[in-house]
Amino acid sequence: MASSSDSNKTQYVTTYTPSLLESLPRLERRQSLGITEENLPFKGLDIWNAYEFTWLNAKGKPEVAMAQFQVPLKSVNILESKSLKLYLGSYSNTPFAHRNEVIQTLESDLTLAARAPVSVALMTPDQVLAEGIGLLLGNSIDHLDVDISEYYWNPEFLELESNTAVREILYTHLFKSLCPITGQPDFASIMIQYSGNSINHEGLLKYLVSYREHAEFAEQITERIFVDIMNRCSPERLAVSARFNRRGGIDINSHRTCEENLPDAVRVWRQ
């Protein structure tokens, strides 16, 4: 008889099993922010990078790549990260005739799960190495000497410094939240780009740190930050980029912006 600990172990499937992939609807979480699908206040994209992806070629020899998935902002669903890891793991002992077949299979399954077209790219180890680690633009607010004692989401920390118009880019590596399914910590680097009346930097840092015990998915956190800053500070332009640390070999990069253009792709030090 199997012990209780054995029965709780995750079963890792190594032959292609698309049914492992799960998704979650965006609508309910957006409604909690007062967002409607017909009138989204932002543009953007969700980019997933899977560094632990492997399959077999037609001769049974392993191939490896970093798999990148771009999920459109208006997809009906978001991808559930643990199921994505298990789904990608099911490729590991599965032979494919050629790389394009792998890409086509991924695009078909992920598009079905997201209910919107998902684009897939496979990057070789040499390509990933050539891109390397990058630096965020702008100024870090991590050096600020502030007293912080609140670790549950609190948008009231957001306030204007003055009526002086500025254009600046601010970022922090101190961000932490919780996965709403597993309760595990999610670490991220958050970058805020805005123009308008000057936002108080200490208040912004306190606000971002207040997510420390907040449980929410990365995509919704990015949207929540965007909406909170818009509601509290009314910038003329705003872009929020959340670059979440790898968990299970997968990172997620969620971007919400007033503009059509997205920030430059950067792999930061924890990714």
Instruction: Copy the structure tokens of residue 30.
Output: 């957006």
Q: Are 210 and 154 in contact (CB under 8 A)?
A: yes
Beta bridge partners of 168: 194
Q: Is 186 a catalytic residue?
A: yes
Q: What are phi and psi of 256, to 5 degrees?
A: -130, 130
Alpha carbon distance 58, 126 (integer Å): 22
Q: Are 202 and 167 in contact (CB under 8 A)?
A: no
C-alpha 96, offset from chain centre: 29
Read out DSSP for 212-256? TT-B--HHHHHHHHHHHHHHHH--SEEEEEEEEPPBTTEEEEEEE
Closest CA to 239 of 259, 212, 269: 259
Those residues with Cβ within 8 angstroms of residue 173's Cβ, 6 or more apart along the chain or in another chain: 140, 142, 189, 268, 269, 270
Instruction: Copy the structure tokens of residue 22.
Output: 């799960």
What Å distances lie between residue 133 and 51, 128, 130, 137, 269, CA to CA?
A: 14, 9, 9, 13, 6
Closest CA to 202 of 241, 174, 221, 224: 174
Catalytic residue among 46, 126, 145, 186: 186
**Mind telling me the catalytic residues?**
179, 186
